[in-house]
Every structure is written in C-alpha cells, then in structure tokens.
Amino acid sequence: MSSPSITPSVPPRTQDVLVVGGGIIGLVTAWRSAQRGLATALVDPEPGGGAAQVAAGMLAAVTELHYGEQTLLALNLASARRYPEFAAELTDATGHDLGYRRCGTLAVALDADDRAHLRELHALQERSGLESEWLSGRECRRLEPMLAPGVRGGLRVDGDHQIDPRRLAGALVTACERAGVVFHRVWADRLTVAGDRATGVVTADGTVLEAGQVVLAGGSLSGRLAGVPDAVLAPVRPVKGQVLRLTMPRAHGPLLSRTVRAVVRGNPLYLVPRESGELVVGATSEELGWDTTVTAGGVYELLRDAHELVPGITELPLTETRAGLRPGSPDNAPLLGPTALEGLLLATGHHRNGVLLTPVTGDVMAHALTTGELPEEGRPFTPRRFGAGAGAAFAEGTGAEQGPTEQTLLTEQTV
C-alpha cells in the first residue's frame, strides 16, 4: 500500500465526499452520502472485501452485551431496530437477497461455571431492560435437539437476528453504483492536507483525488494512512478472528434452527446456520497485528469446542477456513464523525459489531456529512473522545508496528 512518494501528474478530481475504504462501513457511508445528493467517490482496490468476507453476521445487540458497554448498547439497539427497514430498502434498491433471518439466538452453558456466567449476563440484560428468557437444559434441547445432552441451561433471545455479510457487502457495492458513487479501485497512499484542512488523497498510481470532505473508513488499517497528522490518527488495531464454514445437508432438515452460542473453557463460540445450508463456526480473538494466517490450533479449538456443543457437526463437510481482522478501538465502540482536522471524518473501530452497526453508521455519517455535526445518537462516538494524539500512542502499544502487506490482507484459505 505505502509506495514511495509520487509526484502527481494528472489534474485533481474533485468530489463533495471521498470515502477511503470500501468495506461495509465505507460502502454504507458512500451510499447514504450519494442519496443525500453529495457527489461521492470511494477508493479501495477491492470494494466489498474486508472483514465482511469472514464475519458471521450475527445481529446480536443483546447476547453481545458486555459489562461497561452500556453506551455502545444504545447504538447497537438503535441499529438492530433499523435492520428490517434497512434490509428491505437495500433489497429494493439492488434486487439482492441479503440472507436476513429473524431466527433468534440461544446462548447456552455447558458446565457450572458457564451457567453462572450466563446467569450474570441474564441479570445484566434484565437490568438493561432487554428481552431474554432463561431456559433449563431440557428446554434448550427441546428448541435445538442437536445440542449436547450436557447443556445445563441457556438464554433464549428472539430479538438477536442474522444476515449474510458477504451478501450485504455485495448489495452495498451495487447500491453505491446505482446511486452514482464513483469507484477508484486502487489503494489510497496518503492523505493530502492544505493549511489545516484535509483536501483528498493521492492514490498508489499517483492520481490526486480531491474532495470537500474525506471519510477514513479503512477498517483495521484506519490508523495507517500516511499523511494523517498524529493528532487525529485513529486509535484502531487489528483483532484477528478465525472462522470455519461447514455445509449442512438439506435432506435431514437444518442441524440448528437458530444461532447457538456459548462460552467454552472461557472461549466465546457461536454456530450460525444460514438458510443456504452454510453453517458458520467462529471465532477466535487474537491480538497478532495484521496476521491473517489460518492456524491448525485455531481450527482445532473451534472444532473441538463446537463438537462439545453440537456433537453432530463432525459429520459435516468442512468447506472453508478463513481469518479476518476486526477494527478494534480502545473502548470497543466505533469512531464516527468529524475529527479535529477540518475536512477529515472517521467511520471506523466497529470491532465485533460492524455488521450490526451498518444501518445506524450510514445514518449518522450522512447527518455528519450534510450538517457538519453528529446527530444525538452518534455524539458519544465522536473520535475526539480519546483526545489528541491517542492514535499515535495507541499504535505503539498494540504490537502492530509490523505493517500489513497486501498479501496478508487479501489472503483466503479454503479447504
């Protein structure tokens, strides 16, 4: 990505908005921006790629609740509420089926420790006014007969749904194209700044792209774009996740009818069954910089734990193993809206909830791009909450000094 500095040889192209990064977050921002009448361009060598190619697609505002993340919960819930309308609008605009399923989630416990942990989560959910129902082990198995006999109890959360993130990404590319977003399929090498304002980027092929506003939506790479002043660098780090894909035979009906999740030996595990017959099993969580290697240990642990939860999975064909990078932030919440550098906005740091947060991010960013301010629901997520220079300090402490290579970012491993 970073190439020696290139002297621009072509005249600049000017847009109202230039989005750097065409993962689902950059795409939804560009789509909403174009819909608001702003001339919008997007730069990414592979729009529609990124973490959505790996993600499970759980829309899990309730079962993803963690202590200390109540502010994030409000945004997660706002986005979950918007999903039905958002999915319908995107399907109308593109004709794409998004694999959106309102099938609910069952979070189960396999031993006494897990059960105690799940009881605490249930209490926290109730204190937060969320809907979830405690079930005995027998009631869990009545809902999902393929669960292991040892399941001790669980939480039924009918409001946590799922979508296929690959289809979501593909639909957003089409929606952007139809809304008139201009795609530049190339890396942005560096941000250009004139005086104290961001003015655009120079791409890897030397093209100068100018814009009134630049949105940095580079996922885990958001803190790496050259030319961004230290004071406004995004404090974002890569958090690796390995995921398996298996195929459920159609003949015997679905192995599972809803998302099933658990914590096994301290490791969060989920099985997400799609209508297509795909079963997604994930995910590891590893702080290893920009490493997207699929490891024997990662695959082994996922299969071992998934087998403990649903013994029948060992009969299924294993069709894909893959690793992706979540864009993690210091408080696990996204960074949305204007930075201290005029003309530069961020839409990044969505960590493990980027798929869930896609609809609300589009709305918040469209508001910020058209008014210069964050709407009420977006205000807690201003990048300014971390203070000037947080990104530079953060990069030093993440073990992510080893920069990524194009190879690691585009790696796909299929068995």
Ligand X SMILES: Cc1cc2nc3c(=O)[nH]c(=O)nc-3n(C[C@H](O)[C@H](O)[C@H](O)COP(=O)(O)OP(=O)(O)OC[C@H]3O[C@@H](n4cnc5c(N)ncnc54)[C@H](O)[C@@H]3O)c2cc1C
Question: Contact positions toward ligand X, by CB under 6 A?
Answer: 1, 20-26, 43-44, 46, 49-52, 54-58, 187-188, 217-221, 225, 241, 243, 282-283, 324-327, 348, 350-356
Question: Exposed (0-12), middle (13-18) or buried (19+): which is 342, by Cβ within 10 Å?
Answer: middle
Helix, strand, or coil (residue 314): helix
Task: Name the minimum Å distance from CB 242 to ligand X.
Answer: 7
The number of residues making up the chain comes to 415
CB atoms within 10 A of CB 31: 28
Task: Name the minimum Å distance from CB 357 to ligand X.
Answer: 7
The whole-angstrom separation of Cα 21 and Cα 349 is: 13
User: How far from each other are the two terminal CA atoms of the chain, in whole angstroms?
Assistant: 28
Tell me whether residue 125 or residue 348 sits nearer to ligand X (CB atom): 348
Rg (CA), the chain: 21
Tell me whether residue 35 or residue 259 sits nearer to ligand X (CB atom): 259
Q: Would you state the structure tokens that stand for residue 35, as one six-digit string?
A: 């819909």
- Asked if residue 25 lies in contact with residue 212, where contact means CB atoms within 8 angstroms, the answer is no
Tell me whether residue 289 or residue 354 sits nearer to ligand X (CB atom): 354
Tell me whether residue 352 or residue 367 sits nearer to ligand X (CB atom): 352
Task: Name the minimum Å distance from CB 138 to ligand X.
Answer: 28
Q: Would you state the structure tokens that stand for residue 91, as one six-digit string?
A: 């399907």
Task: Name the minimum Å distance from CB 194 to ligand X.
Answer: 19
Tell me whether residue 21 or residue 137 sits nearer to ligand X (CB atom): 21
Return all residues near 160 (Cβ < 8 A) that are at least 6 apart. 58, 59, 60, 61, 62, 63, 80, 104, 105, 259
- Cis ω on the peptide bond leading into residue 194 (within 30° of 0)? no
Tell me whether residue 55 or residue 137 sits nearer to ligand X (CB atom): 55
- Asked if residue 228 lies in contact with residue 235, where contact means CB atoms within 8 angstroms, the answer is no
- Asked if residue 69 lies in contact with residue 172, where contact means CB atoms within 8 angstroms, the answer is no
Q: What is the DSSP letter of 297?
A: H
The whole-angstrom separation of Cα 244 and Cα 279 is: 8
The whole-angstrom separation of Cα 149 and Cα 311 is: 10
Task: Name the minimum Å distance from CB 217 to ligand X.
Answer: 6
Task: Name the minimum Å distance from CB 336 to ligand X.
Answer: 11
Which helix (H) or strand (E) is 127 found in, with range? helix 112-127
- Supply φ then ψ for residue 168, to 5 degrees: -60, -45
HEC sequence for 133-168: EEEEHHHHHHHCCCCCCCCCEEEEECCCEECCHHHH
Tell me whether residue 258 or residue 351 sits nearer to ligand X (CB atom): 351
Task: Name the minimum Å distance from CB 86 to ligand X.
Answer: 13
Tell me whether residue 43 or residue 176 sits nearer to ligand X (CB atom): 43
Tell me whether residue 153 or residue 273 sits nearer to ligand X (CB atom): 273
CB atoms within 10 A of CB 347: 34
Tell me whether residue 153 or residue 246 sits nearer to ligand X (CB atom): 246
Task: Name the minimum Å distance from CB 292 to ligand X.
Answer: 9
